[in-house]
């Protein structure tokens, strides 16, 4: 049994969360290893980026983070209050625990900023949502990360990405890291997800 903790901040983006929920859920049903995805937040009711309300299964304070094999971090929007919780000490402490334990950490879009603020990206390759004149790249650089303008960047056990359109690819990569490449490819085929071509992986956000 592989156990994955998904941290949900208020203001989380539903699509980014759903990528982990669905890919790992399909993998649990059809894959070669049983997988348990547990979601936890800092409050009992979360309002997502676009107004969908959620009830996390657990409060973060109720779970034993050491009992998990990997961490999933969907991103969110500043106007929805995402950073108020995503940059809070309980979130940052959880991130540090997984990175220091050498366990996979998969972040989507701006949640890589949380990794940076947690201090785990110093001298490591990473990306984040980035547009011409945007501030997220600057925030990442300030934390000591090496910014790479690619859709997905993997540095050892840390996966970062550039936006919601990368979320399923991040989830498949996480599945590969906690199980196997063959298992991830099998689930991709069952879910009818095409594999992006090499050009997709190499296309910068800002030409």
| pLDDT tens profile 142-163 | 999 999 999 999 999 999 999 9
User: Residue 133 — very low, low, confident or very high, per pLDDT cuts 50/70/90?
Assistant: confident
**How many CB atoms are closer than 10 A to CB 87?**
15
Q: Which distant-in-sequence residues (6+ apart) come within 8 Å of 10 by Cβ?
A: 41, 42, 43, 46, 47, 76, 80, 81, 82, 84, 85
Q: Please, what is the Cα angle at 57 between 187 and 22, to 5 degrees?
A: 15
- Tell me the Cα Rg of the chain: 16
| The model's pTM | 0.97
Provide φ and ψ at 144, rounded to 5°.
95, 5
- The answer to whether the Cα torsion of 205, 9, 15, 71 is positive or negative is positive
Nearest alpha carbon to residue 127 among 31, 206, 71: 206
| Full set of structural domains in the chain with CATH | 2-202 (3.40.50.880)
pLDDT of residue 86: 98
């Amino acid at each position: 049994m592989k156990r994955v903790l998904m941290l949900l901040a208020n203001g989380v983006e539903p699509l980014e969360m759903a990528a982990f929920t669905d890919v790992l859920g399909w993998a649990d049903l059809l894959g070669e290893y049983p997988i348990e995805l547990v979601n936890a937040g800092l409050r009992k009711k979360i309002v997502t980026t676009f107004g969908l309300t959620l009830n996390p299964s657990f409060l973060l304070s109720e779970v034993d983070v050491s009992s998990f094999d990997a961490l999933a971090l969907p991103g969110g929007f500043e106007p929805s209050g995402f950073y108020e919780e995503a940059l809070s000490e309980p979130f940052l402490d959880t991130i540090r625990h997984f990175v220091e334990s050498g366990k996979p950490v998969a972040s989507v879009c701006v949640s890589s900023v949380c990794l940076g603020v947690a201090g785990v990206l110093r001298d490591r390759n990473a990306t984040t949502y980035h547009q011409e004149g945007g501030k997220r790249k600057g925030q990442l650089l300030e934390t000591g990360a090496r910014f790479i303008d690619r859709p997905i960047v993997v540095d050892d056990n840390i996966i970062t990405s550039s936006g919601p359109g990368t979320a399923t690819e991040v989830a498949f990569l996480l599945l590969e890291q906690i199980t196997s490449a063959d298992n991830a490819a099998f689930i991709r085929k069952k879910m009818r997800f095409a594999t992006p071509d090499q050009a997709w992986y190499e296309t910068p956000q800002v030409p």
